[in-house]
Structures are given as C-alpha cells and as structure tokens.
C-alpha cells in the first residue's frame, strides 16, 4: 500500500471529527470498551460498516488515480 492511501483513514478522522465521535458512540453502545468487535457484531454496526466501505472506496480511487498519473 502506498503512503498516501494508508493515511486516508487518519485524514478522514481529522477532517470529520463529528463522524469519528458518532462511530465511537456506536462502537461503545454495541460492543463496549472491554472487547473488540467481531463479525457477529457487524449487523449491529451499520455506521462502522459504512465508514469502512467509504475509506476502502477512497483508498481504491486514490490508488487508481496515482496509476493514471504514472502513465
């Protein structure tokens, strides 16, 4: 993974702190702070799933755009 695309989740969290707070609240309400989420929790964490999909989309788009620049 290139350096730029690996920083996209961090940049998203910095640019959208209210989204990060909402994500943390969802995790705390479903999972709590004493364990990590599992795939069994996925249906109860729609905001987390959407965040992961969006970050994955942005990483893919940044990678593809860098490939286009190199040609």
Question: Using one digit for the tens of pLDDT, what is the confidence trace for 24-41?
Answer: 999 999 999 999 999 999
Element (H, E) at 54: helix 46-70
Centre a 10 Å sphere on the Cβ of residue 48 and count the other Cβ atoms it contains: 19
- Domain residue extents for the chain: 3-70
Interatomic CA distance for residues 37 and 68, integer angstroms:
37
So what's the pLDDT on residue 36? Answer: 92
Query: Shortest CA distance to 2 belongs to which of 68, 67, 63?
Result: 63
Tell me the pLDDT tens digit for each residue of 1-10.
455 556 667 7
Residues with Cβ within 8 Å of residue 58, at least 6 apart in sequence: 5, 8, 12
């Amino acid at each position: 993974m290139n350096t730029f695309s690996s920083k996209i989740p961090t940049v998203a969290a910095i640019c959208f702190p209210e989204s990060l707070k909402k994500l943390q609240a969802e995790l705390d309400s479903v999972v709590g702070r004493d364990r990590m989420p599992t795939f069994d929790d996925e249906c109860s964490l729609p905001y987390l799933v959407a965040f992961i999909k969006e970050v994955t989309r942005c990483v893919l788009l940044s990678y593809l755009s860098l490939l286009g620049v190199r040609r």
